[in-house]
Amino acid sequence: MNKLSQFVKNKRKSLGLTQEDLSFKAGVGLRFVRDLEQGKQSLQMDKVNQILSLFGHELGPILSERNEES
């Protein structure tokens, strides 16, 4: 599970929401919520932002943690 999927799952649970509740409130499908929480690699950014906006967040660039040993 990646950081985004873990964040969404933890926030949802902390608010006492089911995946179905979250999908309804965010206006996305239940399958999308499940895919997101399972760490699916290809997701629509606009739908991810619909979910994150419920938690007061949005997608943005972060510094990657690469090990640059050559």
pTM exceeds 0.95 for this model = no
Domain that residue 29 falls in: 3-54
Residue whose structure tokens are 């089911």: 18
Instruction: Decide if 34 contacts 5 (C-beta within 8 A).
Output: no
Q: Give 15-65 pLDDT, tens digit per residue.
A: 999 999 999 999 999 999 999 999 999 999 999 999 999 999 999 998 887
Inside any domain, residue 12: yes
Inside any domain, residue 42: yes
Task: Give the pLDDT score at 1.
Answer: 61
CATH number at residue 11: 1.10.260.40
Inside any domain, residue 19: yes
Inside any domain, residue 69: no
Inside any domain, residue 33: yes
Higher pLDDT, 17 or 1: 17
* 4: CB partners within 8 A, 6+ apart: 36, 39, 48
3-state secondary structure labels for all residues of 1-69:
CCHHHHHHHHHHHHCCCCHHHHHHHHCCCHHHHHHHHCCCCCCCHHHHHHHHHHCCCCCCCCCCCCCCC
